[in-house]
Amino acid sequence: MVQEILIDYKKLELKYKDADEEITALLEKAVIGTEGGLRYSTKDIGIRLKYYGKGLSFIALYKKNKLVGVIGLCRRRTLNCGTGYNSTFLRYLSFRNPFQTARVSKKRRKKLTGATETFKQQLFSMFIDPMKLPGVNNASEPHVVYACIEGENERSKNFVRQAGYEHIRSVHTVTFSRFNPSVNPDVSRLAPEEEPVMAQLLAEQYHNYCFYHDQFSFLNHRYYIMKKDNIIVAGVCAIPTTFSIIDFPGIQGWILLNILPYLPYFRRIFRPGEFRFLVLDSIYCREGHENLLADLFESVCASEGHYSAVTWLDTNSGLFKMIKANGRMGVLNKILVTSPGLIFASFPNIGAEEKKKFLKSPMYISGLDLA
What is 246-314 written as a DSSP string? EE--HHHHHHHHHTGGGSTTHHHHEETTEEEEEEEEEEEE-TT-GGGHHHHHHHHHHHHT-SEEEEEEE
Mean pLDDT over 193-208 rounds to 97
Q: Which residues contact 36 (CB under 8 A, 6 or more apart)?
A: 152, 249
**Do 57 and 197 belong to one domain?**
no
Q: Which residues contact 201 (CB under 8 A, 6 or more apart)?
A: 232, 235, 284
Query: Which pLDDT score is estimated for 93?
Result: 65
**Do 85 and 32 belong to one domain?**
yes
Mean pLDDT over 139-166 rounds to 86
Say whether pLDDT at 140 is over 70.
yes
Tell me the Ramachandran region of residue 155: left when phi exceeds 0, alpha when psi lies from -120 to 50, beta otherwise.
Answer: alpha
CATH at 240: 3.40.630.30
Query: Which pLDDT score is estimated for 144?
Result: 92
In this structure, the number of other CB atoms found within 10 A of the CB of residue 334 comes to 11
**Do 50 and 115 belong to one domain?**
yes
- Alpha-carbon torsion, ordered 172, 177, 183, 189, to 10 deg: 30
**Do 114 and 218 belong to one domain?**
no
Q: How confident is the model at residue 73 (pLDDT cuts 50, 70, 90)?
A: very high
Query: Which pLDDT score is estimated for 127?
Result: 74
Considering the chain, what percentage of its residues have pLDDT values greater than 90? 54
CA distance 233 to 297: 13
**Do 137 and 200 belong to one domain?**
no
212: which DSSP letter?
B
**Do 190 and 289 belong to one domain?**
yes
Residue from 282, 247, 267 nearest 177 by CA: 267
Mean pLDDT over 326-348 rounds to 88
Query: Which pLDDT score is estimated for 187?
Result: 98
pTM above 0.85, yes or no: yes
Least confident of 43-47, 92-96, 171-175, 273-277: 92-96
Say whether pLDDT at 241 is over 90.
yes
Q: Please, what is the angle between helix 154-162 and helix 119-128, to 10°?
A: 70
**Do 162 and 180 belong to one domain?**
no
Bridge partners (DSSP) listed for residue 166: 345
CA distance 337 to 38: 11
Is 293 buried (19+), middle (13-18) or exposed (0-12) by CB count in 10 A? buried
**Do 177 and 167 belong to one domain?**
no
Sign, CA dihedral 163-165-170-171, equals negative
Is 61 in contact with 95 (CB distance < 8 Å)?
A: yes
**Do 192 and 298 belong to one domain?**
yes
SS3 194: helix
Least confident of 3-12, 221-230, 232-241, 362-371: 3-12
Mean pLDDT over 139-153 rounds to 87
CA distance 142 to 140: 7
Say whether pLDDT at 36 is over 90.
no
**Do 159 and 49 belong to one domain?**
yes
Query: Which pLDDT score is estimated for 120?
Result: 66
Give me the domain span that covers residue 350: 3-171+343-370
Number of domains forming the structure of the chain: 2
245 or 215, greater pLDDT: 215
**Do 179 and 102 belong to one domain?**
no
42 or 197, greater pLDDT: 197
Phi, psi at 134, each rounded to 5°: -65, 150
* 84-98, 186-200, 345-359: which is most confident: 186-200
**Do 59 and 11 belong to one domain?**
yes
